[in-house]
Structure 1
Amino acid sequence: MERIIQESVPGKQVTLAHVLASPMPDICERLGVENNGAVGVMTFTPSETAIIAADVATKAADVEIGFLDRFTGSLVITGDVASVETSVYSVNQMLSDLLGFTVVKVTRT
């Protein structure tokens, strides 16, 4: 029997903020999202922050929500590279400035 232990870090944190520019089609297919040029992946604690992040991301630029999970704190957005980058940076900035979150550097591959 396999046992899975899920652990969350206390506090208000953006734990991952990454942009996949021009992802391989297989990645988008396996994620079940459209390949619109870029995919943004973010994770948060507390996990409900993903709801706020999705709202900020979709208002900041022309992106679509590919996946949102308020139980694990995961958000995947898609759009063109510039829009996804704008959205990820906007989420980081708002959470840091307005809500006092600790954020990570936005990375890109």
Structure 2
Amino acid sequence: MEERITREELLEKLFNDDYEKLKGKKLRLTRVRVPGKSLDFAHVITPSDPAVYQNLALNIGVHEGEDHTGESIGIMRVTPWEAIVVATDVAVKAADVQVGFMDRFSGALIILGGLSQVMTAVEEVVKFFRDELHFDVCEIHKS
């Protein structure tokens, strides 16, 4: 009778054998990321300390000299990263918010504005990505 091994046992054996052969040799590791279609972070905060805005660098560049103290901050992250451009477009069209930061190379977006405006913008982005683009989306967290 033929002995069957599980997939996990097979993978463990393959990796163990490779590891034993590579011991003591120089290794080069490559990190590969295969992004899915997901909006995996949506958070709204209302900080009261100006240090929060300064540490997020929301007081430099195009926002230099502006005081955002008391405004809410919406933070989102999307993969594929380029889709953050779409999220930004949806957010600024959905509510009276400013773009604090957008990075198409990491999929990060920070928006600023009043609490109700930021909540509306984040809700509309999540809804658009879920219903129109069929992305996996997370729940919106608020603190």
TM-score, shorter chain, exceeding 0.5: yes
CA contact (8 A) 1:8 1:45 kept: no
Q: Give the letter aligned to residue 15 of structure 1.
A: D
Q: CA RMSD, aligned part only?
A: 1.6
Deviates more, 1:83-92 or 1:23-32: 23-32
Bigger strand fraction? 1
Give % identity: 38
Q: Is the 8 A contact 1:48 1:73 kept in 2?
A: yes
1:89 touches 1:106 (CA, 8 Å); kept in 2? yes
TM-score, normalisation: structure 1? 0.89
- Deviation of residue 10 (structure 1)? 2.7
Please tell me whether Structure 1 or Structure 2 has the larger radius of gyration of its CA atoms.
Answer: 2
Structure having the higher helix fraction is: 2
For residues 15-41 of structure 1, the C-alpha deviation after alignment (integer angstroms, 9 at most, x for no partner) is 100001234211101112233510000
Structure with the greater relative contact order (CA < 8 A, sep ≥ 6): 1 or 2?
Answer: 1
Change (3 A) 1:8 1:85: farther
Query: Where do 5+ consecutive residues of structure 2 fail to align?
Result: 1-29, 59-67
- Structure 1 runs (4+) deviating above 4 angstroms are none
Unmatched tracts of structure 1, length 5 or more? none
Q: How many residues align?
A: 105
1:62 aligns with 2:100: no
